[in-house]
Amino acid sequence: MKTDLVKIKASFVGSGVRLDQLPKPDRCEIALIGRSNVGKSSLINRLVDHQGLAKSSAQPGKTRLINHFSVEMQGAPPLYLVDLPGYGYAKASKKDIEAWNIMMRNYLRKRPNLVCVMQLLDSRLPPQKVDLEFTNQLGEWSVPFVMVYTKTDKGSMVKARQNADAYGKAMLATWEAIPPVYWSSAEDGRGRLELLTFLRDCSSSYHDVSSNP
């Protein structure tokens, strides 16, 4: 699948903070989450080749909504990409953090069509405590996820792989195995082919299972 030949149609569907405000769970859903400045919106825009579709806030941690985008990809059933509000914002009040925790717990544990979470990690940084805490939370909740290292164009890939190895080593203190890892850059498109293939496979598998219960 060559990314320059794949026709993708993407559009904003809506935002919500409660399950009853979200779109009908009638298709495969893949959610992106990470620290507030890790580049979720930029990666979504790069994946669907639609700059400006997912809006990023000028102030990290400002976004508090679950944002749904409809994605129609050639050769696969339609799916939802979901931009989740980032974690780890230092200036948030205890009230806001608790509201975020409740919203994420309800969404990640109760959204029936959520197939996988893409946890985004800054490839330039060594393991961050807040990232590891969220990784462990996904494990406790039995939420399937993959790890996507972002901003690989902004530093050495050797250093990026060293950071990823260190993160994996930290995970293995409590995990039996490390989930799939992807490398990405919203700037130069690195990893776009692999991630689009992943999205296509998730959507196709979900559709096959749903069609043949």
- Stretch 116-137: mean pLDDT, rounded? 97
- Stretch 42-66: mean pLDDT, rounded? 79
Q: Contact at 8 Å (CB) between 201 and 61?
A: no
Q: Contact at 8 Å (CB) between 32 and 82?
A: yes
Mean pLDDT, the chain, as a whole number? 91
pLDDT at 192 over 70: yes
Q: Is 188 helix (H, G, I), strand (E, B) or coil?
A: coil
pLDDT classification of 40: cutoffs 50, 70, 90:
very high
Query: What topology is assigned to 8-192 in CATH?
Result: Rossmann fold (3.40.50)
List strands edge to edge, sheet with 145-150: 8-16, 66-73, 79-83, 28-34, 114-122, 145-150, 181-183
pLDDT classification of 3: cutoffs 50, 70, 90:
very low
Radius of gyration of the chain, Cα coordinates, nearest whole angstrom: 16
pLDDT at residue 25, rounded to an integer: 97
- Stretch 5-28: mean pLDDT, rounded? 92
pLDDT classification of 36: cutoffs 50, 70, 90:
confident
* Nearest by Cα to 135 from 186, 169, 97, 185: 169
158 backbone dihedrals φ, ψ, rounded to 5°: -60, -45
The DSSP code sequence of 68-87 is EEEEEETTS--EEEEEPPPB
- Stretch 172-182: mean pLDDT, rounded? 96
pLDDT at 57 over 70: no
**Torsion angle, CA of 13/137/203/44, rounded to 10 degrees?**
50
H-type helices in the chain, by residue range? Answer: 40-48, 94-110, 129-140, 157-171, 192-211
pLDDT at 65 over 50: yes
Q: What is the pTM of this model?
A: 0.92
Residue 73 carries which side chain, given as an amino acid letter?
A: M
Which of 29-33, 60-64, 161-165, 193-197 is predicted least confidently? Answer: 60-64
- Stretch 176-198: mean pLDDT, rounded? 96
Percent of the chain at pLDDT exceeding 70: 91
- Stretch 187-207: mean pLDDT, rounded? 95
pLDDT classification of 1: cutoffs 50, 70, 90:
very low
